[in-house]
Amino acid sequence: MNEPCTSLAAGTVREAALAARSAADRLATTTGAQRDAALTAVAARLTDRVPDVLAANEKDLAAARAGGLPDAVLDRLTLGAAQIEALAAMVRDLADRPDPLGEVTHGAVMPSGLEVRQIRTPIGVVGMIYEGRPNVTVDAGVLCLKSGNAALLRGSSTARHTNAALIDAMREGIAGAGLPPDALQAVPGTTHASVHELMSLTGLVDVLIPRGGRELIRTTVRESAVPVIETGVGNCHVYVDEHADLDMALSILLNAKTQRPSVCNAAESLLVHAAVAPAFLPRALAALAGRNVTVHGDRRVRAYDPAVVAATDEDWGREYLSLDIAAAVVDSMEAAVNHIRLHGSGHTEAIVTDSQAAARRFVAALDTAVVAVNASTRLADGAELGLGTELGISTQKLHARGPMGLTALTTTKYVLTGDGHIRGASPAMPGLSCDVLEGPDPGAR
């Protein structure tokens, strides 16, 4: 473990965070053109350093093989030259996109003449904890750079040499473009203690984004003192209303379940209104069977097909991520809404209906990041919605909800401009100020 690899041995987590803070301060005053030039340089270095990255990847693969890790892990770990070139192309594409910073999100001139602007700024230092493939290292790093944030990356220990080689290449690009390389760092250490230290650095680290399985996300949410952006566990439902066009319902169901079953916006549950169950379920069950989908149904669904497996209570809350789907017949739209409230994960829920009234009620009643009316749950995706490169799908309610574009990596700053404006010189706008909420001023008596 004593390779001369800077990203593998860089002092304490706190030292890395302090260096990131300083780099973030520098990034905050860069122009979009400077950050785009750094992205272009990063893309060039990734291309130059393909052999080094492949060698590092081979080292990780050898260790994983020696450790007897399963083929699926080896497969996720493997990074080929073509994939690295594809990552470099993505980085060049990102450089061409509009700068998310500087947008005036609110502006007004107050009656006193005070000018008020709320402008989009970087968050600062973003910590990323992920289990996934090494390509997340590049994705996360360049999304942060584009949005003016310093990144502290903590990937899987099985991918550490690969990640370190990717980070070194990106740091060289950043430094070559005249920006501080500490804008992009691996979190030092490979133990859980270092992750816990990262979670405790309030004031130095502004946000943590866990990407990975349910357990990683839960642990981070539970243990982090640093604010967390929670990305999505999905238990998406397709509800076929009594007023549904059944051809449309079938097309949406098959797309939502089978077009890509392993992702969070795939459908995991089907609810069918009792009035259309006799017409819809025989066709739907046959079509699902034809695509090798195992249906876990309630008693009323099973009545249509003996091949349907009996659903247990657990099935209603499962995120299968496979060719399985839970299915139930419901007696009303309200029953469907109640089922989803009980079992949904707040990700994406779809209704198929031709009734305006039903669609309005379904949309209003469900507290979820995305509601799809006569559209597949699979469309809940940043690229599909025109948000540009996606950071993930947030199922939390604060800051960002649903598919997250680059703006999820920004915050805002109020800028007040006057010519000597002071408080009390002119009456405030109607409304209760913080002062009133806190009651009379003890210091004023």
Considering only residues 112 to 151 of the shown chain, the ones binding its own copies according to CB under 8 A are 114, 116, 118, 121, 123-124, 132-133, 135-136, 139
Sign of CA dihedral 159, 162, 167, 170: negative
Tell whether residue 289 is a contact of its own copies (CB under 8 A): no
Residues 3-32 that bind its own copies (CB under 8 A): 24-25, 28-29
Is 329 or 404 the residue whose CB approaches its own copies more closely? 404
Instruction: With CA atoms as reference, report the closest residue to 276 among 379, 378, 358, 367.
Output: 358
Is 161 or 378 the residue whose CB approaches its own copies more closely? 378
The Cα–Cα gap between 174 and 167 comes to: 10
Judged by CB under 8 A, the residue of 50, 169, 264, 301 near its own copies is: 264
User: Which residue is listed with tokens 């991520």?
Assistant: 321
Is 165 or 409 the residue whose CB approaches its own copies more closely? 409
Q: 199, 86 in Cβ contact below 8 A? A: no
Q: Determine how β-strand 309-310 pairs with β-strand 184-186.
A: unpaired
Tell whether residue 369 is a contact of its own copies (CB under 8 A): yes
Query: What are phi and psi for residue 130, nearest 5 degrees?
Result: -145, 155
The Cα–Cα gap between 345 and 368 comes to: 8
Tell whether residue 215 is a contact of its own copies (CB under 8 A): no
Is 302 or 343 the residue whose CB approaches its own copies more closely? 343
| DSSP states of 222-262 | HH-SS-B--B----EEEEE-TT--HHHHHHHHHHHHHSSTT
> Shortest distance, CB of residue 47 to its own copies, whole angstroms?
18
The Cα–Cα gap between 141 and 368 comes to: 29
> Shortest distance, CB of residue 322 to its own copies, whole angstroms?
6
> Shortest distance, CB of residue 388 to its own copies, whole angstroms?
4
Judged by CB under 8 A, the residue of 262, 306, 313, 314 near its own copies is: 262
Residues 77-106 that bind its own copies (CB under 8 A): 90, 93
CA contacts within 13 A on the Cβ side of 113 = 7
> Shortest distance, CB of residue 207 to its own copies, whole angstroms?
6
Is 306 or 443 the residue whose CB approaches its own copies more closely? 443
Residues 378-397 that bind its own copies (CB under 8 A): 378-390, 392-393, 396-397
Q: Which residues of 3-28 are buried (b: 16+ CB within 10 A; e: fewer)?
A: eebebbebeebeebbbbbbebbeebe
Tell whether residue 156 is a contact of its own copies (CB under 8 A): no
> Shortest distance, CB of residue 9 to its own copies, whole angstroms?
28
Q: Which stretch binds its own copies (CB under 8 A): 180-188, 190-198, 261-269, 305-313?
A: 261-269
> Shortest distance, CB of residue 171 to its own copies, whole angstroms?
21
Is 157 or 322 the residue whose CB approaches its own copies more closely? 322
Tell whether residue 342 is a contact of its own copies (CB under 8 A): no
For residue 7, what are its two tokens?
């990203």
Judged by CB under 8 A, the residue of 74, 248, 275, 287 near its own copies is: 248
User: Which residue is listed with tokens 């890790």?
Assistant: 69
> Distance from CA of residue 138 to its chain's centroid?
15
The Cα–Cα gap between 299 and 301 comes to: 6
Q: Give the residues across from 231 on adjacent strands.
A: 394
Q: Which stretch binds its own copies (CB under 8 A): 62-70, 159-167, 190-198, 369-377?
A: 369-377
Number of residues that bind its own copies (CB under 8 A): 116
Judged by CB under 8 A, the residue of 52, 245, 305, 319 near its own copies is: 245
Tell whether residue 311 is a contact of its own copies (CB under 8 A): no
Q: 371, 363 in Cβ contact below 8 A? A: yes
Q: 395, 221 in Cβ contact below 8 A? A: no
Per DSSP (E only), the strands in 131-205 are: 150-154, 184-186
Judged by CB under 8 A, the residue of 66, 67, 68, 72 near its own copies is: 72
Tell whether residue 152 is a contact of its own copies (CB under 8 A): no
Q: Which stretch binds its own copies (CB under 8 A): 11-19, 185-193, 281-289, 317-325?
A: 317-325
Judged by CB under 8 A, the residue of 221, 246, 275, 309 near its own copies is: 221
Q: 167, 207 in Cβ contact below 8 A? A: no
Tell whether residue 69 is a contact of its own copies (CB under 8 A): no
The Cα–Cα gap between 353 and 359 comes to: 7
Tell whether residue 70 is a contact of its own copies (CB under 8 A): no
Tell whether residue 314 is a contact of its own copies (CB under 8 A): no
For residue 42, what are its two tokens?
């990063």
> Shortest distance, CB of residue 441 to its own copies, whole angstroms?
5
> Shortest distance, CB of residue 368 to its own copies, whole angstroms?
7
The Cα–Cα gap between 373 and 242 comes to: 14
Is 8 or 198 the residue whose CB approaches its own copies more closely? 198
